[in-house]
Amino acid sequence: MSQSIIFENVSKFYGDVLGVNRVTLNLGPGITSLVGPNGSGKTTLMNLMTGLVRPSQGRIELLGTAPDQPDELFHRVGYCAQFDAFPRGLTGYEFIYGFLRLHGIDPAQADILTKEALERVNLVAAGPRKIAGYSKGMRQRIRLAQALSHRPTVLVLDEPLNGLDPMARAETIALFEALGRQDMHVVISSHILEEVDRISDRVVLMASGYVVAEGRIHDVRQEVKEHPVQILVRCSNPAVLASSVFMQDHVVEAKVIPQGGGLLVRTVDPSSFYNLLNRLVSQGLVDVEAVAPADEDVNSIYQYLIGEGGTA
């Protein structure tokens, strides 16, 4: 049985409106982030994955199961959707417990799993209270608890950090990281790019219903040839380094960052730059403390590929 989430040439149209078009993906275990502006098709992709909408064409498979077999699929999949609506009159506890009872889980086991899920999202104290009285962040967390409650191996999370305060956000991200380390498939859509960047193993960039780029962040960055790579060098003598790199054809820009910030170099040929740097170091002209890519992150890649116009 396949251990991947597979999209094969999947398209979804809502009447004349394009949801996603010709998406082909193969997502392995770990944390995958879907990034793109509003209307780029992230939620559609997640709804397709979980069978909430049916593709107009193409094939989808989650660990060998098609999304139109919910009785098989949702033993292994948990989906924290963006819909901020709950069955009326339920407490947080009843919301999770009722969900588990719908799975067919017996009352005692459902009770244990409900308490465990509430604990994971720090909502034990609020469990007996009506959801109608929850804050936005608490509603977000109770949805997350619902998605986690039956211990799935695939977790699909649509904007799971929305509405969370910084403390809850940090805890939630730590939870995702822990789940990613447990070999789970965690698919996250988020517009908080810095945080997505920190935890993602790979990224899927979307715009206007198309997958613009996908893969490990480093690999995706390497493919963006039209934008010079930015490299930050912390060294003893940035002015000397700057004068040396200026003579190179491949260097587009070199900027000394004040107060010991180092030198920021933009180059179209990083390999040549690294060779040059090695030479300068071996000649004793500069003493390097650290070298790091400065734009190998989701935010930069997003800006390069999708641009400022998109509202993530």
Partner 1 sequence: MSAGTAVAKMTQFRDQPWRLWARQVWAVMRMDLGRNFFSRRGIWIYGLAFAPALIVLLHVMVDRAGSDAQLYVQSETVMLAVLFQFFMRLSMFFGCMGIFTWLFRGEVVQKTLHYYFLVPMRRDVLTVGKFLSGFLTAALMFGSSFFLCFLLIYLHIGAAGRAFGFAGPGLGHLGMYLLVVVLACLGYGSMFLALSLIFRNPIIPGAVLLGWETISGILPSILQKLTVTYYLKLLVPVELQSDGWWALFTVVTEPIPHWAAVLGLVLLSSLVVAYAAWRVRRLGINYVSD
For β-strands 77-80 and 154-158, DSSP reports them as parallel
SS3 (DSSP) at 158: strand
If binding means CB under 8 A, how many residues of this protein chain bind partner 1? 30
- Whole-number Å distance between alpha carbons of 145 and 97: 11
Q: Does 244 bind partner 1 (CB under 8 A)?
A: no
Closest to partner 1 by CB, 86 vs 176, is 86
Q: Is residue 16 part of the contact set for partner 1 (CB under 8 A)?
A: no
How many CA atoms within 13 Å lie on the side-chain side of 198? 10
Query: C-beta of 262: minimal distance to partner 1 in Å?
Result: 49
Name the minimum Å distance from CB 80 to partner 1. 9
When asked if residue 131 is in the footprint of partner 1 (CB under 8 A), the reply is no
Of residues 54 and 181, the one with the C-beta less far from partner 1 = 54
**Which listed residue (7, 86, 93, 176) binds partner 1 by CB under 8 A?**
86
Residue number, 123 or 205, with CB nearest to partner 1: 123
Report residue 6 as tokens. 């597979």
- For the segment 29-68, give every residue that binds partner 1 (CB under 8 A): 47, 50-54, 68
Q: Does 7 bind partner 1 (CB under 8 A)?
A: no
Q: What is each CA distance from 71 to 55, 58, 67, 104, 290, in whole angstroms?
A: 19, 21, 10, 11, 53
CA atoms within 13 A on the CB side of 178: 8
- Tell me the angle at which helices 136-148 and 92-102 cross, rounded to the nearest 10 degrees: 30
Q: What does the binding site for partner 1 look like in residue numbers (CB under 8 A)?
A: 14, 47, 50-54, 68, 70-75, 78-79, 81, 83, 85-89, 98-99, 101-104, 106
